[in-house]
Amino acid sequence: MKKHILVVDDEIGALTLIGIMLERGGFSVLKAKDATSALAVLDQNTPDMIILDVMMPGMDGIELCKVIRQRDDTAETPVLILSARGDAESVMKGMEAGANDYLPKPILHHDLVSKVRSILEEAPSK
C-alpha cells in the first residue's frame, strides 16, 4: 500500500516539484498551499507523513508544525521541514516545534526520497 504524504508549500513550483519527486519515489501525494488548506486536508485525511515549508504567508511552517503536534490525529505523524533557511536557529526552531527532521532547499530528488523513506521506517506504524 502506498504511503500518503501531505506537502505544504506556498510556492506552486516547489509544491509541484516535490510532488513529482515523491510520486516517482512511490508515494501518494496530497498538496496544500498554506496552513489553512493543510489543516482542511488533515480534517479529511491522516497522512503517513507531512512535509512543511517554513516560509509561508499567514501561519508559517513552524507554527503549523506546533498545531499538527497538538492535534490528536497527527500528534505522532512524522513531520519533515524543508526550508531555504538552513541556519542553525531555523533548524532549532523547527525541531523544537516537533519536526522529526529538517532539510535545506533546494532539495535533490535522491535526498528527499531517501530521507522520507528513513523517517517513515522509524515511525511507529499505525
Domain count, the chain: 1
Do the domain assignments include residue 115? yes
In a domain, 51, yes or no: yes
CATH number of 48's domain = 3.40.50.2300
98, part of any domain:
yes
Classify residue 25: in a domain, yes or no. yes
Question: Residue 96 belongs to what domain range?
Answer: 4-121
Q: What is the pLDDT along the chain (126 residues), one digit of tens a residue?
A: 899 999 999 999 999 999 999 999 999 999 999 999 999 999 999 999 999 999 898 999 999 999 999 999 999 999 999 988 777 888 899 999 999 999 988 888 889 999 999 999 987 654
In a domain, 103, yes or no: yes
* pLDDT at position 125: 59
The model scores a pTM over 0.85: yes
**Residue 57 domain flag:** yes
The phi, psi pair for 33, rounded to 5°, reads -95, -10
Determine the pLDDT at residue 35: 96
Tell whether 126 is covered by a domain.
Answer: no
Report yes or no on 106 lying in a domain.
yes
